[in-house]
Amino acid sequence: MKIRIALLSAFLWLCSGLSAGEVEVLHWWTSGGESKSVEVLKNLMEEQGHTWKDFSVAGGGGESAMTVLKSRVFSGNPPVAAQIKGPSIQEWAEEGVLTNLDQVAARGQWDSLLPEVIKHAMKYEGHYVGVPVNVHRVNWMWVNPAVFKKAGAEVPTTWEEFAVAAEKIKKAGFIPVAHGGKPWQEATIFESIVLGIGGPDFYRKAFVDLDQATLKSATMDRAFTILKMIKGYTDKDAPGRDWNLATSMVINGKAAMQFMGDWAKAEFTNAGKTPGQDYLCLPIPETQGKFIYNVDSFVMFKQTRKEVQAAQNDLAKIIMEPKFQEVFSLNKGSIPARLNMDMGGFDIYGVASMNDFLAGSQANTLVPSMAHGMSTTPAARGAVCDVVTNFYNSEMSAKDASTSLAQEIQAAY
């Protein structure tokens, strides 16, 4: 792959079709709340005199965007910047196609401004190749309190309580769980169940170390069983539904809750809803004080033209500036990636998330999201998502699912 990319990139400036200072940015932020967030970056770049060429590829979780990215890079026409994260940053860096961001990082003192886990994820062989945008927390439960009230149900903190509440909600004529039946959404719920019942060490053994015994353990069987129980409380139209449409069901009172990362908050914000009143945001049952992180970031693809290189440096610089870090996260539902930010403008959930992130960072209990490509390679992530979704959509037993999880991961290597 390396030689192919090197040859093609020699003709890159000819094929790019970009005009001076034009920055083509690949991302998958297309929902109402996400689009508002990306607008913040676009405006800041335009203030610097650059032209923003939006290259959005719809599809939550970014799988479609990554497929499109591959074909663009392999045809010698990569975008100027792309939303990429986790270990796939290192995979792209290994191909020799990413711009080194060390100079802009040194000028901006990124080393002293970023938490360890984030710094580590942005570097390849000690050099910065990625710039972090924000930190999302994955293990959140979005609650419509009015629906719970009408159903006479208590907001659950354990899976046992969840089953009791879900039964009441169902009897009262509401959909207990708004779900989008797509592999990445099922994997998003599954990893939170695993963290809750197994704890951070178990989670890391499973989704970072990919340890065979852990993958086929009794705890993993239990996680699959809980996932199937949740399915019983979703509606028949869930298959194929986009995550933000599931969020709308909670917003408009059709459904009582959704298990989703805090990008869902952007939809509540966009709909003018008040946190703590119109909606509640609480840890998924059994994950109180636990934190699955998902860091959005951008990489820049090597460019030959000076003005485009300058635009890449400006983009990286802007992303790390406090102004962008704050405004973007306020729109996106996340928290800043940069340390020591003033959290005064954030709501109770943003403040709580930052406190938990910092405490988890100290206690070494933060865990990277498997479903969102932070914990392992795309190949291993793909194997987990396949098994989880096959289990979710079939009569497979929990035991067979965990056995298959271990086998598929082994085969992915």
Where on the chain is the footprint of ligand GAL (CB under 6 A)? Answer: 28-29, 34, 60-62, 136, 243, 263, 294, 296, 372
**Is 279 in a helix, a strand, or coil?**
strand
Report the residue closest to ligand GAL, judged by CB.
Answer: 60
Are 118 and 295 in contact by the 8 Å Cβ rule? The answer is: yes
Residue with token string 């970031």: 297
For the CB of residue 130, give the shortest distance to ligand GAL in the complex, in Å: 13
Report the residue number, 62 or 285, with the smaller CB distance to ligand GAL: 62
Are 84 and 68 in contact by the 8 Å Cβ rule? The answer is: no
For the CB of residue 412, give the shortest distance to ligand GAL in the complex, in Å: 20
For the CB of residue 180, give the shortest distance to ligand GAL in the complex, in Å: 10
Report the residue number, 294 or 402, with the smaller CB distance to ligand GAL: 294
Integer angstrom CA distances of residue 209 from 205, 206, 213: 5, 6, 11
Report the residue number, 372 or 381, with the smaller CB distance to ligand GAL: 372
For the CB of residue 32, give the shortest distance to ligand GAL in the complex, in Å: 12
For the CB of residue 389, give the shortest distance to ligand GAL in the complex, in Å: 16
For the CB of residue 112, give the shortest distance to ligand GAL in the complex, in Å: 25
How far is residue 102's CA from residue 90's CA, in Å, rounded to a whole number? Answer: 15
Are 96 and 255 in contact by the 8 Å Cβ rule? The answer is: no
Report the residue number, 61 or 368, with the smaller CB distance to ligand GAL: 61
Report the residue number, 214 or 258, with the smaller CB distance to ligand GAL: 258
Integer angstrom CA distances of residue 342 from 4, 131, 157, 199, 359: 46, 20, 30, 31, 17
Q: What are phi and psi of 156, to 5 degrees?
A: -80, 145
Integer angstrom CA distances of residue 323 from 39, 40, 42: 14, 10, 13
**Is 260 in a helix, a strand, or coil?**
coil
Report the residue number, 62 or 108, with the smaller CB distance to ligand GAL: 62
Residue 55 pairs with which residues in a beta bridge? 26
Report the residue number, 5 or 195, with the smaller CB distance to ligand GAL: 195
**Cα distance between the two ends of the chain:** 18
For the CB of residue 61, give the shortest distance to ligand GAL in the complex, in Å: 5
Candidates 95, 118, 123, 130; CA nearest to 5 is 95
